[in-house]
Chain A
Amino acid sequence: MSMVLAFLAQTLRIAVPYLFAAAGGVLAERSGIISLTLEGFMLGGAFSAMLGSYWSGNPWVGVLAGVVGGLVLGLVHAVATIRYKADQVVSGIAINLLAVGLTRYFLKLVFDSSSNSPRVAGFSAGTSTTALVAGLLHNPLIPLGLVALPVVAWLMYRTPFGLRVRAVGEHPEAAATLGVSVARVRYVAVALSGALAALGGTYLSLDQHQFTDGMSAGRGFIALAAIIFGRWDPMRAALACLFFAAAETLQIQLQAMQAIPSQFVQMIPYVLTIVALVGVVGRAIPPAALGRE
C-alpha cells in the first residue's frame, strides 16, 4: 500500500511541471501560436522565481517573480510573432536560446557561478517515503498544478474568452469578421502561456530550493509532446502528462533492477508523439490556423 502511495506521490511530483507547461501550451496553440517556447518559459520562470525568493526570502514572492518572468518572455514571443509576423518556429527557438543565455549570464553575474544558485526559500518537505504524501500538501504549487489543465479546459470551453481563443486558432478570418481582435486574443493567450509554463519552472526551482543551469532539461518539449499526444485537448493533455510522469517514476523505481535501459523509458513521450502524429491510434490534427498568420 505504501509502495503504491509512494508511486502515486512521486508521479504527481514529476507531473506538476509538465501539467503547468502543457496548460500554457494548450492555450497558445489553440489560439494559433506554436509553443516551441515552453522550454524557455520554464527555464526563465525557474530563474526569476529563484531570484525573487533569494532577494525577499519569501517563496511566494518567488512565485510572483516566476510568473512575471514568464509573462515577459511570453510577451517577447507575442510581439515577435504577432506584431512583426516572425516565423513562430524560429521565434520559439530564439526564445529558448535567449532563456538559456540570459539565465546563464545572470547566474554568473549575480552569483558568480556557472552551475547553480545558492539555496533559497522554497516549498518542499522532506524526501523520505512517508514524507512524500505529506510533501504534496506542503507545496501549494502541487495542487495548483493539478488544477491547471482543468481550469484551462473550463476557460476554453465555458467562457467567451475561450470561445474566442478557439475561433482565432481555427478560423482567424471568420473571427475577425465577427469583430474579434485576433491579435489581442493571441497576445493574451501567449502571455498567459508564458506565465503558466513559468509556474512549471517555478515549481522546479522552489522545490529544489535553488536554480541549476538548464534545469528545465527538456521538460517543455515533453509538455509539448503531451499536448500533441492529447490532441490539443486540455483534459487529454493532462492524462498524457500523468502517463509520461508515471513512466518516468516506474523507470526510477526499476533502476536498481536494470530491467529496461533507462534510455528507452526516456524515449516514450517522443515516440508516442510521433505515433500520434502518424495516426496509428486516432489522428492528432492540430488547430487549423496553427503557425499561420
Chain B
Amino acid sequence: MSAKGLPAAMRARVAEALLPPLVALLVSIVAGDLLILAVGQSPGAVYRMMLEGTWGNAYGFGQVLYKTTTLVCTGLAVAVGLRAGLFNIGAEGQLAAGGLGAALVGLALPAGTTALLAVPLCTVAALAGGGIVGYVPGVLRARWGAHEVITTIMLNFIVLALLSWMLSGRLRVPETLHTQAIRSGELPRLATWWAPFHGSAANASLLIVLAAAVATSWYLFHTSRGYELRAVGLQPEAAESGGVSVGNTWIRALTLSGALAGLGGINFVLGYEHYYEEGFATGAGFLGIAVALVGRSNPFGVVLAALFFATLSQGGLAINALVPKQMVDALQGVVILAMAASVPEVRRLLAIGRSAR
C-alpha cells in the first residue's frame, strides 16, 4: 500500500461509517417535517420545542439521561452480536430477565445490607439474568444451527410469558404487576449530587453502564477473545481455519450480548422504581437495534446513538402540545429504514467512486 493510499483508505472507512447515519438523520428530519406539516404546525417551532424540552432544562435532560442508560445497554447488546455476525433481536426479554434478576437479589438480601455489597450483587444478578437468556440462542445456533434471528424473537415471547408467570404467583404485590420494593441495593438519583436534576429518574446506574461501554470497547478491540469474536463476524470460515472455534465464539458473543441487555435492568430496578414491574422493558429491545445500527456497532457510537434516540423519545413528550407525541414512534421506524437502505447504498457509491478514480 502506498503512503498516499493509507489516508485515502482511512477516509473511505470514515465516510462509510458516518455517511449512513447522516443520511438517516436527514431522511428522518424530512419525514418529521411532513408529519408536522400534516397537523398544520411549523417544523422549526416543533423542533425548537423538542430541543428546549430535552437539552434546554435540567429535568428534561435528566429524563434523557435516564432513557439513554437503558438504550446504551440494549444497543451494546445488539452491537456485540453484530460484531460476531449475529442478530440479537431478543434484547427485550434479556433486559426484562436482568431486571427480575436484580429485583430477586435485592429482595433476598436483608434490609440494611451495605450498598458496597448489595449493588454489585444485584448488578451481577442482572448480568446473569440477561446472560442466561442470551446463552440459549447461542447454544441453539452453535449446536443445531437454529438461526438466532428466529430463536431470539421466539424466546422474547417465551421469556416474557415465563417472567409474567413467575410474577403472577406470590412474587407480586396483589392487584399490581410489580414486586415489593427491594430492601437493599438502591442506587442514588443523580439529583442527590446535583439538585437541578430533581424529579428526573436519572440515577447512578448511568455511570455503571458507561463503564460497561468502555469495558465492551476494550473487550472487542484490545483482547484476543474480542479479536476472535470480530474475526468470526467478518469471516467465520477463515476464523475457523485460523483455529478459532466459531460455535464457542457464537455462544460467548450471545451470552455477553444478553448480559449487557440484562444490565439495563438495574436502571429501572435499582435506580428508579426499586421494584421489578412487568412491561418495563417494552420497546427498549427494538430500539436497541436502532441504536446499534446508527452507532455503527461501535460502543462509543452506541452511547451517542442512545443519547439521540433518548432525546427523540423524551422530545416526543415535550412537543405533545403541538404535535401528537406518537410522531416519534413513526420517526424511529423511519430512521431504522433509512439506515438499513443507506448502508449498502453508501458502500456501493463509494466503491463506484473508487473505481472511477
Contacts and interface: CB of A to CB of B under 8 A. Distances in A.
Interface of A: 34, 36, 76, 80, 84-87, 89-91, 93-102, 104-105, 107-109, 114, 218, 221, 224-225, 228, 261, 263-264, 266-267, 270-271, 273-274, 277-279, 286
B330 A102 contact: yes
Interface of B: 35, 38-39, 87, 89, 140, 144, 146-147, 149-151, 153-155, 157-158, 161-162, 164-165, 168, 286, 289, 293, 324, 326-334, 336-337, 339-345, 348
A105 B162 contact: no
A88 to B, nearest CB: 9
Contacts of A261: 165, 168
A228 B161 CA distance: 21
B161 A263 contact: yes
A104 B326 contact: yes
A95 B334 CA distance: 8
Contacts of B343: 86-87
A223 to B, nearest CB: 12
Q: What are the 4 A-B residue pairs with the smallest beta carbon separation, nearest first?
A: A101-B330, A98-B333, A101-B329, A97-B333
7 contacts: A36-B149, A80-B337, A89-B149, A90-B339, A98-B330, A264-B161, A270-B154
A279 B39 CA distance: 52
B344 A84 contact: yes
B83 to A, nearest CB: 15
A97 B327 CA distance: 12
A266 B330 CA distance: 28
A34 B147 CA distance: 12
A271 B154 CA distance: 7
Given A100-B333, A263-B161, A263-B162, A91 B340 contact: yes
Contact of B340 (A86, A105, A109, A263): A86
A270 B326 contact: no
A101 B329 CA distance: 4
B324 A91 contact: no
- With a 10 A CB-CB cut-off, give which of B151, B161, B165, B331 has the most chain A CB atoms: B161
Contacts of B333: 94-102
Contacts of B155: 270, 274
B161 A105 contact: no
B109 to A, nearest CB: 28
A221 B326 contact: no
Nearest to A275: B146
Nearest to B39: A109
Nearest to A290: B147
Contacts of A96: 286, 333
B348 to A, nearest CB: 8
Contact of A277 (B146, B164, B165, B168): B146
Chain A facing B: main interface SS: helix
Given A93-B336, A97-B336, A225-B154, A80 B341 contact: yes
B154 A105 contact: no
A80 B289 CA distance: 17
Contact of B332 (A89, A91, A97, A221): A97
Contacts of B332: 97, 101
Nearest to B336: A94
A87 B340 contact: yes
Contact of B344 (A85, A109, A270, A286): A85
Nearest to A107: B326
B161 A277 contact: no
Contacts of B149: 34, 36, 89
B293 to A, nearest CB: 7
Nearest to B347: A85
A156 B345 CA distance: 32
A259 to B, nearest CB: 14
B154 A274 contact: yes
B140 A277 contact: yes
Given A105-B326, A263-B165, A264-B165, A93 B150 contact: no
A7 B263 CA distance: 44
A150 B343 CA distance: 39
A230 to B, nearest CB: 14
Contacts of B340: 80, 84, 86-87, 90-91, 94
B161 A274 contact: no
A154 to B, nearest CB: 27
Given A86-B343, A266-B161, A270-B157, 17 more contacts: A34-B149, A84-B345, A93-B289, A96-B333, A97-B332, A98-B337, A101-B328, A101-B331, A102-B333, A104-B326, A105-B329, A109-B38, A261-B168, A266-B157, A273-B150, A277-B144, A278-B144
Contacts of B337: 76, 80, 86, 91, 94-95, 98
Given A95-B337, A277-B146, A270 B329 contact: no
Contacts of B334: 94, 98
Contacts of A84: 340-342, 344-345
A92 to B, nearest CB: 9
B326 A274 contact: no
Contacts of A91: 337, 340-341
Contacts of B324: 104-105, 108-109
Q: Which of A91, A94, A101 has the most CB of B within 10 A?
A: A94
Nearest to A114: B326
Nearest to A88: B340
**Which of A85, A90, A102, A264 has the largest number of chain B CB atoms within 10 A?**
A90
Contacts of B326: 101, 104-105, 107-108, 114
A72 to B, nearest CB: 14
